[in-house]
């Protein structure tokens, strides 16, 4: 007999124990007294012991019955607690969510929202990794990731667009006051430029010409820096002109620490997505995490519209 098949008679037995009466247990369980008595008798036959001492006036547990009652009660209490916990996960976010984020965007825009979410739901926890490399969600057991750039065609993943990473050309007011505001690509060539390198090579800038055609222009840079954080520091310190994502530059422009150069001429903007492994049902912890990421991106200068609940990546 399976554990599931045993559960019914055991429930009946525990009810009889609690009420000390077959009749009262039958009434509680909406069964006939004979059905309750037969269920207990079958349980005794299977165990090979008597669970109750029956008299005309009283129903007492035997020593074996007391021990069996205590063991069964503890087991069913654990089962009931587990069922309550599982039921709660259908409504309140709980459990661990593994999140992979691009380093600077993740640290600046997304991570603070996840910290706040963990404060809101005490049963929800996060393992957050800032990683410039694009990990394989399916093989590395990552629940949610944010990606900047075109998404690969990977089956088994769902994506939701957060918006676009708009690129701005920026300089400090002090630099521009000393060197002037460039208006054309030719003007740029005479300025101190700050660019990014990858694998020892300078990355080109995408610039829209007067005819509307986007061209890849190789900046004759004096400083080649690894990433936007270094570039921002160098630009603010007045060392030259460089490219920054708008979500990073916008607060600095608003405060007056930076100024935009050649607005509307810079191209190379990249889409930003949140992605996760596809599943027939989305758990509350995953839904809450994705919603928090979407809201955080929406409050930043990413400024994109989402694509509903998502689409296959």
Q: Note if the pTM is more than 0.75.
A: no
Superfamily grouping for domain 167-261: Periplasmic binding protein-like II (3.40.190.10)
- Residue 111, number of CB atoms within 10 A of its CB: 17
pLDDT of residue 156: 85
* Residues 166, 260 contacting (CB under 8 angstroms): no
Q: What is the pLDDT of residues 178-236, one digit of tens each?
A: 999 999 889 998 999 999 988 878 999 999 887 888 889 999 998 999 889 999 999 99
Say which residue, 302 or 218, is predicted with more confidence: 218
Per CATH, the number for 95-166+270-312 is 3.40.190.10
Domain locations in the chain as residue ranges: 3-86, 95-166+270-312, 167-261
Render pLDDT for 51-91 as a digit per residue (tens, 0 to 9).
999 877 788 999 999 999 999 988 988 887 777 666 666 67
Flag the least confident range among 80-89, 122-131, 164-173: 80-89
Lowest-pLDDT range of 97-106, 146-155, 301-310: 301-310
Do 95-166+270-312 and 167-261 have matching folds? yes
Q: What integer pLDDT is reported at residue 309 of this predicted model?
A: 47
Tell me the pLDDT of the chain averaged across its residues. Answer: 87
**Domain 3-86, second-level architecture:** Orthogonal Bundle (1.10)
CB-count exposure of residue 284 (10 Å: 0-12, 13-18, 19+): middle
The continuous run of DSSP H or E covering 277 comes out as strand 270-277
Average pLDDT over residues 120-149: 87
């Amino acid at each position: 007999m399976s554990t599931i098949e045993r559960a019914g008679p055991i429930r009946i037995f525990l009810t009889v124990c609690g009420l000390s009466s077959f009749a009262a247990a039958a009434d509680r369980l909406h069964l006939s007294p004979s059905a309750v008595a037969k269920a207990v008798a079958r349980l005794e036959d299977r165990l090979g012991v008597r669970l109750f001492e029956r008299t005309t006036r009283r129903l007492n547990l035997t020593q074996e019955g007391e021990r069996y009652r205590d063991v069964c009660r503890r087991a069913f209490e654990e089962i009931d607690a587990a069922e309550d916990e599982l039921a709660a996960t259908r409504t309140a976010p709980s459990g661990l969510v593994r999140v992979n984020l691009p380093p600077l965007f993740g640290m600046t825009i997304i991570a603070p929202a996840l910290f706040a979410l963990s404060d809101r739901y005490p049963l929800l926890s996060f393992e957050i990794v800032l990683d410039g490399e694009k990990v394989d969600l399916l093989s590395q057991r990552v629940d949610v990731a944010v990606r900047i750039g075109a998404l690969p065609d990977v089956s088994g993943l769902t994506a939701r667009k957060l918006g676009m990473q708009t690129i701005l050309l920026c300089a400090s007011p002090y630099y521009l006051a000393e060197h002037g505001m460039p208006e054309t690509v030719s003007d740029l060539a005479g300025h101190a430029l700050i660019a990014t390198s990858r694998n020892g090579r300078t990355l080109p800038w995408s610039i829209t010409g007067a005819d509307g055609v986007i061209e890849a222009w190789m900046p004759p840079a004096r400083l080649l820096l690894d990433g936007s954080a270094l570039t921002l520091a160098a630009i603010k310190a007045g060392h030259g002109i460089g490219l920054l994502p708008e979500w990073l530059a916008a607060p600095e422009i608003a405060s007056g620490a930076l100024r935009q150069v050649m607005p509307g001429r810079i191209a190379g903007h990249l889409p930003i997505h949140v992605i996760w492994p596809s599943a027939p049902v989305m758990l509350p912890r995953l839904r809450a995490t994705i919603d928090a990421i979407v809201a955080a991106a929406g409050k930043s200068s990413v400024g994109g519209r989402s694509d509903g609940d998502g689409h296959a990546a």
